[in-house]
Amino acid sequence: MMKKPEVVKRVSDVAGITQGDANRAIKALVKVIQDAMKQGETISLSGLGSFRTKARKARQGRNPKTGEIIPVPPGRKISFKPTTTLRKLIQ
């Protein structure tokens, strides 16, 4: 698993910028994506894919310990759809 420090280092190397600048850019990108997702917007990044939120209906769940049926309230979930290029790249 690649963690944030490794991502920062690789972005720094690829972009030819300092690690501090890369770190700030990554933090800004994450913040922009979080804010857009909170507003319900779709974020499309060419070469990577699209992030969007989907509505989730209320449903009945089950407590795994007791088997008791419990109501699960409606909510939103995050969906990611990779681009065709990314899908082909990882196959």
Banded pLDDT at 24 (limits 50, 70, 90): very high
- My answer on whether 64 and 23 are in the same domain is no
Within this chain, do residues 49 and 89 fall inside the same structural domain, yes or no?
A: yes
Do 51 and 10 share a structural domain?
A: no
Calculate mean pLDDT across residues 56-85. Answer: 95
Residue-wise pLDDT tens digits, 35-57: 999 999 999 999 999 999 999 99
- Confidence at residue 16, expressed as pLDDT on a 0 to 100 scale: 97
The gap from C-alpha 71 to its chain's centroid, in whole angstroms, comes to 27
Give the pLDDT confidence score for residue 5 in this predicted structure. 96
pTM: 0.78
Q: Taking phi first (over 0 means left), then psi (-120 to 50 degrees means alpha), and beta for anything else, what does residue 41 get?
A: beta
